[in-house]
Amino acid sequence: MKTMTLRALPAILLAVFSSAATATGLQSWEQDAAGLGTAHAGSAAIADTAAGQFYNPAGLSRLDGVQVSAGITGVRSRVEFDNGGSTGASLGVGDGGDAGRWLATANASLGWRLNPDLTIGFGITSPFGLDLEYEHDNWLGRVHAQRAELRTRNYNPSIAYRVSERVAVGFGLNYQTIDLDFANAASRLKGDDGSWGWNAGALFTLSPAMRVGISYRSAIEHDLEGSANGQAARARIEMPDTAILSVWQQVSDRWEAMGDLSYTRWDRLKNLNFVNRNTGALLASEPFAYGNSWRLAWGAAYLLSDAVKLKFGIAYERSPSGSPARNAWAPDSDALRLSLGGQWRLGSGRLDAGYSYHLAKDAKIAQNRVVGGLSNTLRGEYETGTHTLGIQYSAAF
């Protein structure tokens, strides 16, 4: 059985990394589908699979032997615009239909304990992404957005060291690739890059029934090389840093409870400016003007039997974009996430599955763009919601 799983691993990795994206926001928490059922509460403290190293590399210290984990998450977003008085000479007609699509985000991880105190790991994730395409190119906001793709891939070797029975620390390096392609009726912006960052964390075992985890993932600055309206161009974009505080507690023989508080510094992303690669002249500018955001999650798990565990969770996610800063590329808003899931033990492995619904507030927009010297304002509000399904398989050898 173990030999067959190892032989199948390359095929699994190829399949799950066929695509990666999120819904209307740029940040994806779904880097471990096992956490989907609890709304990723306790993400930096649970530390029970190799995939958990994304949230806290110190969690590798709790793994025994060699462990692998691979998962895939399917996301179906609904993104519909309701006009509220848009004006301008270059606007199209109609509300654009549903800009959401079925998409997939994937992860794969490895953990290997070298000795009682030292563990190494490696993870492949997609922490940021966006994929929207309006059904009608000539819609009302055609000069603001027609389609938007932003995809990242993160390669993360990590190391964890157990300082004592109660304290473990971890550190990782991140090589992140990015591909960006934004298009509207006035311009098309493309670029890609690969850059380095780092992450670190600590795990505190306060008692056999309680753990607290803290972690930090650095910002990564990308110098994109690509094109803007057919001209060779470059641009700079900085993906934000995130800090997480998590707690996990064994409440009784059957109940577990967990919580999460995270903070992401989106104020690093203000404007996406594409300039001519040779002269430095500004070719196109896309305003984001994001503010910082935070996320609060709570979850629980119930051991139904030795082989089956049930999960549920809830999270409130504060959006980095408000009405003055919101744009048609990523019409994100504050949202409530409701989650449920289950876990099944299969010999030396386990299978986790989860579902969540991302219920977002109506997102007001008043975005202005000047085309050919004429002002065009997209005014109205977006109705958005996201269904997410995920499955994760983890095994020990």
What CATH number is given to the structural domain containing 301?
Answer: 2.40.160.60
pTM confidence score: 0.91
Does residue 294 have a pLDDT over 80? Answer: yes
How far apart CA 174 and CA 193 sit, in angstroms, is 14
Q: Are 73 and 21 in contact, with CB atoms under 8 Å apart?
A: no
Q: Are 103 and 75 in contact, with CB atoms under 8 Å apart?
A: yes
How far apart CA 315 and CA 256 sit, in angstroms, is 17
Give the range among 7-16, 158-167, 229-238, 297-306 with minimum mean pLDDT: 7-16
Average pLDDT over residues 369-374: 85
Q: Are 198 and 174 in contact, with CB atoms under 8 Å apart?
A: yes
How far apart CA 143 and CA 187 sit, in angstroms, is 8
Q: Where are the alpha helices (DSSP H) in the chain?
A: 2-16
Which of 10, 16, 25 is closest to 386 using CA atoms?
25
Total H helices, total E strands in the chain: 1, 20
Does residue 293 have a pLDDT over 80? Answer: yes
pLDDT on residue 24:
52
pLDDT on residue 323:
64
Look at the chain and count its residues: 397
pLDDT (tens digit per residue) in 99-156: 988 888 889 999 999 999 999 999 999 999 989 999 999 999 999 999 999 999 999 9
Which of 336, 242, 228, 331 is closest to 272 using CA atoms?
228
Q: Are 156 and 122 in contact, with CB atoms under 8 Å apart?
A: yes
Residue 317, classed as helix, strand or coil, is strand
Give the range among 150-154, 286-290, 382-386 with minimum mean pLDDT: 286-290
CB burial readout 156-193, b (16+ within 10 A) else e = bbbbbebeeeeebbbebebebebbbbbbbbbbbbbbeb
Q: Could you give the percent of the chain with pLDDT greater than 70?
A: 93
pLDDT on residue 14:
38
Q: Are 152 and 129 in contact, with CB atoms under 8 Å apart?
A: yes
Which of 77, 129, 75 is closest to 99 using CA atoms?
77
Confidence bin at 6 (pLDDT 50/70/90): very low
How far apart CA 181 and CA 145 sit, in angstroms, is 11
Task: Give the torsion sign (CA, 139, 145, 146, 147).
Answer: negative
Average pLDDT over residues 232-256: 96
CA torsion angle for 102, 103, 104, 105 (degrees, to 10)?
Answer: -140
How far apart CA 179 and CA 287 sit, in angstroms, is 18
Angle at 263 between CA 261 and CA 266, to 5 degrees: 155
Q: What is the mean pLDDT of the chain?
A: 91
Which of 294, 291, 208, 207 is closest to 245 using CA atoms?
294
- Count of structural domains within the chain: 1
Residue range of the domain that includes 80: 2-396
